[in-house]
Structure 1
C-alpha cells in the first residue's frame, strides 16, 4: 500500500499535493484514482498529472504528482475544490505535501535576570546582530521583551542567552545565589505554561548542561514525540539516560545526562543527536489544528470535547491536547484534516 513517505522521499515531492475528502462511499479505489486524475488533469483547474497514488494509509486521501512544480503550487493556492453532483457534491481539500505548520514562534523574554550584569539595550543590540531573522519589540520597563521568528532562530536565541549567562556566572559567583532567589519567588507560577525562555537560565541549568547535553525543541513537536513515539522513552531507558524537561510556552528545553557513572561519555551526545533528527522529521510531517472556545457557549465546548474523546481510539496517531481556552490536535496533514472533519460532523457543523 502506498504512503505519504514514499512520495516525500522521491524527487517529485515538490510537485506533489495531498487531496483529502474523497467520496469513498460512492466509488471504489480504482474509480477514485481515475476520478482524481481526470479532475486535476483539467487545465482550468490544474495541469498534466504524472501520477495519482491511491489508496493510501488514510481513508479518503490521495497523493497527486503533477508534471510541473508551478501547477502544484497553483492547485494548492485555491485549497478547496467542489466535485460535481455525480460525485456527491463532495468538497476536496488540497495541501502541499511538504507543508509545515510549526514555522513561527513567539516568546516573551524576561531579561531582568541580566540587569545587574549588563546594559540590556546593548544585549538586545548584540542579539539583533547575531540573529537578524528575529523580530524584537521595544524593551519594557521591567526588562521584558517580545520576540518572534522561526523556531530555529528562537533556538539560536535561547542558546545565545544560555552562553551569555554561563560566561557571566564565571565572572560573578553571586549571580548563582541571585538566580536561586528568583527561583523561589517565581515558584508559585511554575505550574503554568510560560513563554519565558529565560527561565532556562536559572541556577540548575548551567550546572546540568555542563554534565550532559541540552536540546531545544518546539513544544508541540516534543509533546507529540513523547506521547506518540514510544522510541523516546525506550531510548532513554536503553542507554540509561536521565532527562530533565522544561516547557516554556512554544519552546521546550531538555537536559540529558548519564544515569550511570561508568557510562560511555559519548552516549548522551549520541542520544541528543537522535532526538534532534526525530524532532526535525516530525516538524516537517506534523500539522496542528485548533478548536477555540472564545465567545462560544459551554455546550459547544462540551460537544467538541466529547467528540474528540469518541474519536481518540480511532485516530491513535493523533495527539489531542485539552486546554482551558482551546483544544489542539496534532498529527499528519491527512489525519488532522479527517479528525477535524469527523468532529464537526459529530456536532452537526461543517469544517470552515
Structure 2
C-alpha cells in the first residue's frame, strides 16, 4: 500500500487527489476507505480505476485517492460536487489536486486552563469535537493544554467558538455579581473573581481589540509570504499609518493592528484589516508549498539540497524559501514551486549519480 511520503516523491502525485470532508466518527476507517474507493470508481462521478486509497491520514477527515490514470484524477476534480453516502447520511466532499490544499493541515496548542473554574475541560473538548468534527484533538495535559490539528479554517472556527464561550461565561459572571451582591461578599465572590480574571487572560487574542485596534489570524506561511514577497502589506500599513504587532504560534500568526495617530481611528484600522484579509485570502488560493525533508538523509545529500535552494532562490524571486533544521519549505505559485523542485531534484540526481 502506498504512503503519502511515497506519493510526494513519485509521479503518482499527478494521479492523486486530496479528498476532504469525510464524515469522521460515523463509520470505521476501513468502511470510509471502502466507500471512498467505490465513489471514485463510479463513472457517474467521473471516476475510474483506483490504484489505492490512503486513509486515515495525519489530517482528520482527509483521504488521498490514487488513480491509475492521470486523466481520471483531472475529471473528478473538474466535477464540482461530490457527495459521499446515502441520503440519510451524506457528506459533501472537497476534491483537489494533491498539492492544492497545502495549507489544509495546521497544528496548534490550546491553553484551556482559563476555563478551569467555569467548566469541566473534558466536557468542553467533547462539545468542540461535535461542533467541529474535522479537528483532531490530542490528550489533555494536567496543565490544561491540548494539541489540536485540522484545516486553517477549522482552527479559525475553533478560536471563534472558544471566544464566544469565554464571552458568554464572562457575561454570566457579571450577572451573578450584579444580581447577588450579598453572595459576592462571601467566599464564592473570590472564586468568581479568580475565574473572571482567568477568563480575562484569554483576551490577548480577541477577535477585535479594544480601543482603535483590530486583530486578525493568518496562516503563518501565507503571512510570511505576504510580508516578505508582497509589497502590498508594508505599503498598506504605511499608507494608512497603521502599526502592526505580530505573534507567530507555529502554523498560526496573530497580527494586531493599531493606528499610530491615536484617537478614534477605528474605521481606518478596520479597513486595513479587511484589505490584509483579502490579500491573504487571495494568496491562500494561489500559493503552493513543497517540502524537502532533510531528516534521515546523508549529510552530503542535505548539503546538496541546501546549496541548490540557496542558489535557486536568487533566480526564483517570487518563491519564499524557509530553511528549517529538519526540512526546507518552498512557497510560491504552482508553476514556480514545480520548476524550483524539479531543478533541485535534477541537481541532486546528477550529484548522487
Tell me the TM-score normalized by structure 2: 0.61
Aligned to 2:238: 237
Instruction: Check conservation: 1:176, 1:203, Cα contact below 8 A.
Output: no
Tell me the alpha carbon deviations over residues 110-139 of structure 1, each in whole angstroms, 9 at most, x when there is no partner: 323332332102222332343333233443
For residues 121-136 of structure 1, the aligned pairs below 5 Å read: 121-136=122-137
In the alignment, structure 1 residue 264 sits paired with structure 2 residue 265: yes
Q: CA deviation at 1:255?
A: 1.4
**3-state SS of paired residue (2:322):** strand
Instruction: Check conservation: 2:319, 2:337, Cα contact below 8 A.
Output: yes
Instruction: Check conservation: 2:138, 2:147, Cα contact below 8 A.
Output: yes
Q: Give the whole-Å Cα distance in 2 for the aligned partners of 1:175 and 1:238.
A: 42
Q: Give the whole-Å Cα distance in 2 for the aligned partners of 1:103 and 1:205.
A: 22
Aligned to 2:75: 73
Aligned to 1:150: 151
For residues 136-285 of structure 1, the aligned pairs below 5 Å read: 136-166=137-167, 168=169, 171=173, 174=194, 204-206=204-206, 209-211=209-211, 212-262=213-263, 264-285=265-286
Tell me the alpha carbon deviations over residues 70-124 of structure 1, each in whole angstroms, 9 at most, x when there is no partner: 7833699xxxxxxxxxxxxxxxxxx959933212223332323332332102222
Aligned to 1:302: 303
Aligned to 2:340: 339
**3-state SS of paired residue (1:315):** coil
Are the structure 2 counterparts of residues 300 and 127 from structure 1 closer, same or farther at C-alpha, using a change threshold of 3 Å?
Answer: same
Tell me the alpha carbon deviations over residues 284-321 of structure 1, each in whole angstroms, 9 at most, x when there is no partner: 11110111111112222222111111111210000001
Q: Give the whole-Å Cα distance in 1 for the aligned partners of 2:161 and 2:125.
A: 11
Stretches of structure 1 that go unaligned for 5 or more consecutive residues are: 1-17, 19-68, 77-94, 181-200
Q: CA deviation at 1:176?
A: 7.8
Tell me the alpha carbon deviations over residues 246-297 of structure 1, each in whole angstroms, 9 at most, x when there is no partner: 1111111111122112453211111111111111111111110111111112
Tell me the alpha carbon deviations over residues 6-61 of structure 1, each in whole angstroms, 9 at most, x when there is no partner: xxxxxxxxxxxx9xxxxxxxxxxxxxxxxxxxxxxxxxxxxxxxxxxxxxxxxxxx
Q: CA deviation at 1:156?
A: 1.2
Q: Give the whole-Å Cα distance in 2 for the aligned partners of 1:228 and 1:206.
A: 28
Aligned to 1:316: 317
The root-mean-square deviation of aligned C-alpha atoms, in Å, is 3.4
Stretches of structure 2 that go unaligned for 5 or more consecutive residues are: 1-13, 15-70, 79-95, 174-191
Aligned to 2:48: none
Q: Give the whole-Å Cα distance in 1 for the aligned partners of 2:225 and 2:241.
A: 22
Tell me the alpha carbon deviations over residues 140-184 of structure 1, each in whole angstroms, 9 at most, x when there is no partner: 44433332222111011112223434555674554686699xxxx
Flag the structure with more relative contact order, 1 or 2, with Cα contacts below 8 A and sequence separation at least 6: 1
Instruction: Check conservation: 2:160, 2:207, Cα contact below 8 A.
Output: no
Aligned to 1:293: 294
Q: Give the whole-Å Cα distance in 2 for the aligned partners of 1:168 and 1:324.
A: 42
**3-state SS of paired residue (1:348):** helix
Instruction: Check conservation: 2:207, 2:214, Cα contact below 8 A.
Output: no
Q: Give the whole-Å Cα distance in 1 for the aligned partners of 2:279 and 2:210.
A: 24
Q: Give the whole-Å Cα distance in 1 for the aligned partners of 2:198 and 2:285.
A: 40
Aligned to 2:9: none
